[in-house]
Amino acid sequence: MILFYVFVVLALVSGAMVIRAKNPVHSVLFLILVFCNTSGLLVLLGLDFFAMIFLVVYVGAIAVLFLFVVMMLHIRIEEIHENVLRYLPVGGIIGLIFLLEIFLMVDNDYIPILPTKLSATYLTYTVYAGKIHSWTNLETLGNLLYTTYFFLFLVSSLILLVALIGAIVLTMHKTTKVKRQDVFIQNAIDFQNTIKKVR
């Protein structure tokens, strides 16, 4: 139980610090902290596979990408210094009201930790974790994702394709004057002809 609160508090604080940090690199590092704490929460929920995937994908790929970009953009620390206090009153009040309403709702302790309870008002749905016993997370995931829910899987793959195309469309220079590396030509250079004696 106490671990839950530890992870939650750390995650919230790191999240706040992501916004508040002046140095962008610090922001990214705090973001990594958020991911780590979230993956800890997932472990607490009993989803081992997801926690690992969180670490691998989010921290290993996404946060590293962020770091690369932040370090390539030469952001001076003074540039992003702004007067936060100007927005504090109104924004703070709206945020507080919002959070209050969320808490009003969340106060009902109805988020099921494990979907094993069957209540009379609910229709029955398949509880996989109960029927098929002692399958690991990974096996469960594989059994479902590629058979029953393959459609969602394919659509997600299309999303990734779009991301790929988008990156290329937005950033790649395709004009003929751009110098580009062509590995085959590089490998097929005839060394004898690279240097000529003129005089």
Partner 1 sequence: MYLLIVILPLIGSFAAGFFGRFLGSRGVAVVTTTCVSLSSIFSCIAFYEVALCASACYIKIAPWIFSELFDAAWGFLFDSLTVILLLVVTIVSSLVHIYSISYMSEDPHSPRFFCYLSIFTFFMLMLVTGDNFIQLFLGWEGVGLASYLLINFWFTRIQANKAAIKAMLINRVGDFGLALGIMGCFTIFQTVDFSTIFACASAFSEPHHYFLFCNMGFHAITVICILVFIGAVGKSAQIGLHTWLPDAMEGPTPVSALIHAATMVTAGVFMIARCSPLFEYSPNALIVITFVGAMTSFFAATTGILQNDLKRVIAYSTCSQLGYMIFACGISNYSVSVFHLMNHACFKALLFLSAGSVIHAMSDEQDMRKMGGLASLLPFTYAMMLIGSLSLIGFPFLTGFYSKDVILELAYTKYTISGNFAFWLGSVSVFFTSYYSFRLLFLTFLAPTNSFKRDLSRCHDAPILMAIPLILLAFGSIFVGYLAKDMMIGLGTNFWANSLFILPKNEILAESEFATPTIIKLIPILFSTLGSFVAYSVNFVVNPLIFALKTSTFGNRLYCFFNKRWFFDKVFNDFLARSFLRFGYEVSFKALDKGAIEILGPYGISYTIRKMAQQISKIQSGFVYHYAFVMLLGLTIFISVIGLWDFISFWVDNRLYFIYIVSFLFINI
Partner 2 sequence: MFEHDFLALFPEIFLINATIILLIYGVVFSTSKKYDYPPLVRNVGWLGLLSVLITILLVAVGSPLAVANLVYNNLIIDNFTYFCQIFLLLSTASTMVMCLDYFKQESLNAFESIVLILLSTCSMLFMISAYDLIAMYLAIELQSLCFYVIAASKRDSEFSTEAGLKYFILGAFSSGILLFGCSMIYGFTGVTNFEELAKIFTGYEITLFGAQSSGIFMGILFIAVGFLFKITAVPFHMWAPDVYEGSPTIVTAFFSIAPKISILANMLRVFIYSFYDPTWQQLFFFCSIASMILGALAAMAQNKVKRLLAYSSIGHVGYLLIGFSCGTIEGIQSLLIGIFIYVLMTVNVFAIVLALRQNRFKYIADLGALAKTNPILAITLSITMFSYAGIPPLAGFCSKFYLFFAALGCGAYLLALIGVVTSVISCFYYIRFVKIMYFDTPKTWVLYKPMDREKSLLLAITVFFITFFFLYPSPLFLVTHQMALCLCL
Partner whose footprint covers residue 165, from partner 2, partner 1, none (CB < 5 to 8 Å by kind):
partner 2
Cβ distance to partner 1 smaller for residue 95 or 142: 95
Q: Report CA Rg, the chain.
A: 26
Partner whose footprint covers residue 95, from partner 2, partner 1, none (CB < 5 to 8 Å by kind):
partner 1
The structure tokens listed for 38 are 């979230």
Query: Which residues form the interface with partner 2 (CB under 8 A)?
Result: 101-102, 104-106, 108, 110-112, 115, 121-123, 125, 148-152, 155-156, 158-159, 161-163, 165-166, 168-170, 174, 176
Does 68 bind partner 1 (CB under 8 A)? Our answer is no
Map 53-116 to HEC letters: HHHHHHHHHHHHHHHHHHHHCCCCCCCCCCCHHHHHHHHHHHHHHHHHHHHHHHCCCCCCCCCC
Question: From residue 89 to residue 128, what is the string marking binding to partner 1 with x (rule CB under 8 A)?
Answer: --x--xx-xx--x---------------------------
Distance, CA of 180 to CA of 78 (rounded, Å): 36
Q: Is residue 137 within 8 Å of residue 50, measured between CB atoms?
A: yes
Cβ distance to partner 1 smaller for residue 18 or 47: 18
Least distance in Å: CB of 84 to partner 1?
11
Distance, CA of 141 to CA of 181 (rounded, Å): 41
Least distance in Å: CB of 199 to partner 2?
33
Cβ distance to partner 2 smaller for residue 170 or 183: 170
Tell which residue, 129, 117, 113, has the closest CA to residue 4: 113
The structure tokens listed for 193 are 């002809």
Residues that bind partner 1 (CB under 8 A): 91, 94-95, 97-98, 101
